[in-house]
Structures are given as C-alpha cells and as structure tokens.
Structure 1
C-alpha cells in the first residue's frame, strides 16, 4: 500500500465459508452461582468450574469476584 500498489488481499465468497453459529448464552441461577462460589472456596479451579457449568472462565471469575464483594461489604 505504501508504494502505491493495491492490496492483494481478497475476500472469500460468502458461499464457501460457513458462517459461525451464535454462541449459546448460559445464565446461572442465584443458587447455581452460590454453589459455584462454594465449590471454588472448597478448592475447585476456575477452569474446572467453567467446564462443569458450561460457562467461560472469565464468567466464573466475575461470579466469584461479585460474591466476594457482597460478603466483604456485609
């Protein structure tokens, strides 16, 4: 591009590349979140909990962080 030439990158036709499916959203109930937090306090790893509940590791981290904030403010 800098030397005045056009880019050689081309787009694949939409028929040849399958579109990605939408990610399924999983929302844990309050009781399942409490169970997850307790399992973590009992020694379960975040990655293990993520697999068990079908959620992302960062979601596990957020649930645990939120639970810790609630318990420390009481």
Structure 2
C-alpha cells in the first residue's frame, strides 16, 4: 500500500506536513514515534494532528485512519 500525500493535500486541503502526519497515522504510527523520527517536537506533531482533525472533520485517530485508507489517495499494490 502507498499513500499519495499530494492527493491527501488536495482532497482534504491539508498542508504538506499535515498530509504526512495523516498518512503516518493511517499507517499505524504513534504521534510520539512520528516526532522522534522526523526530529520534531511531540507538541508540533500534536498541533498538526489537531489541524488535520479539524480539516477532515474527525476527532479520533481511528476515524482519521479510516478516512485516509478509504480515500483515492491510497494505492493498493499487488503482492
């Protein structure tokens, strides 16, 4: 599976950073893990996640993941 961040940006009016956070959450990553991996503060990632929730009109990570995974931004690869 691959997630097209550019398409997430267009579909949900997200910034590049917000799209990356949304895709990472959909892939099952924890915000703390995202922050450590990207060298950002956990506060920054949480703020971006909050903005994503507002723009995508959801309030839970599992709702966000479902919306991303059901969107046209996801390309399912044959194995």
Q: Give the structure-2-normalised TM-score.
A: 0.48
Say how many residue pairs are matched. 44
Tell which structure's C-alpha radius of gyration is larger. 1
The Cα shift of 1:62 comes to 0.6
Unaligned runs of 5+ in 1: 1-29
- Does structure 1 residue 32 correspond to structure 2 residue 17? yes
The Cα shift of 1:37 comes to 1.6
Q: Which has the higher contact order (CA 8 A, sep 6+)?
A: 2
Assess if the C-alpha contact under 8 Å between 2:35 and 2:42 holds in 1. yes
Residues 50 and 38 from structure 1, CA distance in 2 versus in 1: closer, same or farther, beyond 3 angstroms?
same
In terms of fraction of residues, the more strand-rich structure is 2
Assess if the C-alpha contact under 8 Å between 2:17 and 2:48 holds in 1. no
Q: Counterparts of 1:11-26 in structure 2 under 5 Å?
A: none
Q: Which residue in 1 is equivalent to 2:38?
A: 53
In terms of fraction of residues, the more helix-rich structure is 2
Answer with 51-60 or 64-73: which moved more: 64-73
Alpha carbon RMSD of aligned pairs, Å? 1.7
Unaligned runs of 5+ in 2: 1-14, 59-79
